[in-house]
Structure 1
Amino acid sequence: MSDRKPRKDAVRNRQAVLAAADALFVRCKSPEDVTMADIAAAAGVGKGTLFRAFGDRPGLLRALYEARLEPIREAVEAGPPPLGPTTPPQQRVPALLDAVLCFKLDNRGLASALEESGSSSPYQAEHYQRWHGLLQAVLEQIPGLADSDFTAHALLAAIRADLVEHLAGQAHVPRERMRTRLAAFTARVLDSTPCGSDQADVYGG
């Protein structure tokens, strides 16, 4: 039996829901302020349509996140430097982290909502495991770098959505300063400096 294609109205409804949710998260002060009812009303569909299409709120957030992240994922999988697979690992790691940081800065409400929902541990989330696996695989290509598994966790901790939101929203750290500090922090980590040495805090002064 062949796979059935989604009806045109279902596709339109899905696109309308994603667009409405995206607009609401851009405007919201807190991700929790955006409810399924709000999204349904903004999209002009019933709540039942949302639940049939996405299952639940975390499912909708994941779908929206993946849609917005698609250009970065395509660049990572088959694109040219600096994100693509032909880039040397010492250059690709900071490029990957910078791309995700910029994505989260551009999608602060959505990123915060996704990382705060669905699971008691954000480290079990599919999107986190995907980035961790990718970073670990690239880190393993760097000669002399110890413990790529923990290093990948440590680097991803520097771009957690709650930290990005705090720095950009509460501390008002400029975007380019965050990018510069992240690059410097990543470079120090990749230098494999032994524990106990004097290292500046990520995004520090």
Structure 2
Amino acid sequence: MPVSAPDPAVPPERKPRKDAVRNRAAVLAAADTLFTGSRRPEDVTMSDVAAAAGVGKGTLFRAFGDRTSLIRALYQERLGPLTAAVAEGPPPLGPAATPAERVPALLDALLCFKLDHRHLALALEGTGADSPYGTEHYAHWHALLRDLLTGLLPPTEADFTAHALLAATRADLVEHLAGELATPREELRARLAAHTARVLP
């Protein structure tokens, strides 16, 4: 069978250059380190990230556009394992588990993620017009939790209850409890589990 010639109207798919891939990895690693070590996430600037990554500011802006886009890209990369576990992982977090199993497992996983990435989460939630409710990731987790709760609660209660439960994993609350009050990690997890159990039937 003859091989058809490529359509000149369709541009060939271009792979990212190796140096671009390397620079992106260096930028994300540098940003992660800076946010982790910062006392105030809002003080981390694009200039700081570029210097720490060893790239020019122009390279940084071409790759990510602006600070908000950089934060979102870093957050999405760090969130990847949790997103995959929720989509296709084993119980209790994965789709094979019952809603009664998945709801507390999901909230615990989100809390642990916020504990592990406290300042990055604060930085991200600060990009939603100073409200976490304006960020894309919040809409995603709220919709998932609401759908799970619909199988456990009256439909009129599921939406609000999803908001109320997610409020317990807000980055500013996690920072207050774990950072300012130095509440131990396992104590926070136990308190959230107990609160969730009281809410669910």
TM over 0.5: yes
Equivalences for residues 109-188 of structure 1 within 5 A: 109-142=119-152, 144=154, 146-188=156-198
Give the structure 2 partner of residue 194 of structure 1: none
**Offset at 1:146?**
4.5
Query: Structure 1 vs Structure 2: percent identity of aligned residues?
Result: 67
Give the structure 1 partner of residue 3 of structure 2: none
Q: 2:96 aligned with 1:86, yes or no?
A: yes
Larger Rg: 2
Deviations 1:145-201 (A, max 9, x none): 64211111111101000000000111111110100000011111112xxxxxxxxxx
Cα distance in 2 for partners of 1:123, 1:8 equals 37
Q: 2:42 aligned with 1:8, yes or no?
A: no
Cα distance in 1 for partners of 2:163, 2:124 equals 18
Cα distance in 2 for partners of 1:76, 1:147 equals 23
Cα distance in 2 for partners of 1:190, 1:146 equals 14
**Offset at 1:120?**
4.4
Give the structure 2 partner of residue 29 of structure 1: 39
Q: Which amino acid aligns with 1:45?
A: V
Unaligned runs of 5+ in 1: 192-205
Q: What is the root-mean-square deviation in Å for CA atoms of aligned residues? A: 1.3
Cα distance in 2 for partners of 1:177, 1:143 equals 27
Aligned length: 191
**Offset at 1:119?**
2.3
**Offset at 1:49?**
1.3
Q: Which amino acid aligns with 2:115?
A: L
Give the structure 2 partner of residue 198 of structure 1: none
Q: Are the counterparts in 1 of residues 125 and 131 from structure 2 also a CA contact under 8 Å?
A: no
**Offset at 1:3?**
2.8
**Offset at 1:144?**
4.4
**Offset at 1:141?**
1.9
Cα distance in 1 for partners of 2:143, 2:161 equals 11
Q: 2:135 aligned with 1:103, yes or no?
A: no
Deviations 1:7-30 (A, max 9, x none): 111111100000000111111111
Give the structure 2 partner of residue 42 of structure 1: 52
**Offset at 1:143?**
5.2
Q: Which moved more, 1:112-121 or 1:20-29?
A: 112-121
Instruction: Quickly say closer, same or farther: Cα 1:145–1:185, change in 2 above 3 A.
Output: farther
